[in-house]
Amino acid sequence: MANIASARKRARQAEQRRQHNTALRSELRSAVRNVRKAIAAGDKKAAGAVLQRAVGVIDSIADKNIIHKNTAARHKSRLSAQIKAMA
């Protein structure tokens, strides 16, 4: 554990930031999971609506540098391709 006051403060801040980032990452995973559930259900229109909400979450988390922007683009691309492929 840090002994200097400024180092103790940085450790506290790092822990808060870690917990916040973990919560955001969990929100991202939930959004992607909801889209995959909608795709599995087979309703293309509902899946599209869920995807729109998920894209907002993905973009928001990428803007905050929780995930890389290319990772966000890959998620969005693959999900939309799966929806397009639905009959």
Residue of 13, 54, 63 whose CA lies nearest to 36: 54
| Structure confidence at residue 87 (pLDDT) | 75
The rounded percent of the chain whose pLDDT value lies above 90 is 95
The model's confidence at residue 41, banded by pLDDT at 50, 70 and 90, is: very high
Q: What DSSP string runs through 5-65?
A: HHHHHHHHHHHHHHHHHHHHHHHHHHHHHHHHHHHHHT-HHHHHHHHHHHHHHHHHHHHTT
Whether the predicted pLDDT of 66 surpasses 80: yes
| Structure confidence at residue 54 (pLDDT) | 97
What is the residue extent of each domain of the chain? 5-84
Q: How big is the chain by its Cα radius of gyration, in Å?
A: 17
Can you give the pTM of this predicted structure? 0.86
Which residues have C-beta within 8 Å of that of residue 41, sequence separation ≥ 6?
47
The domain 5-84: what is its CATH number?
A: 1.20.58.110
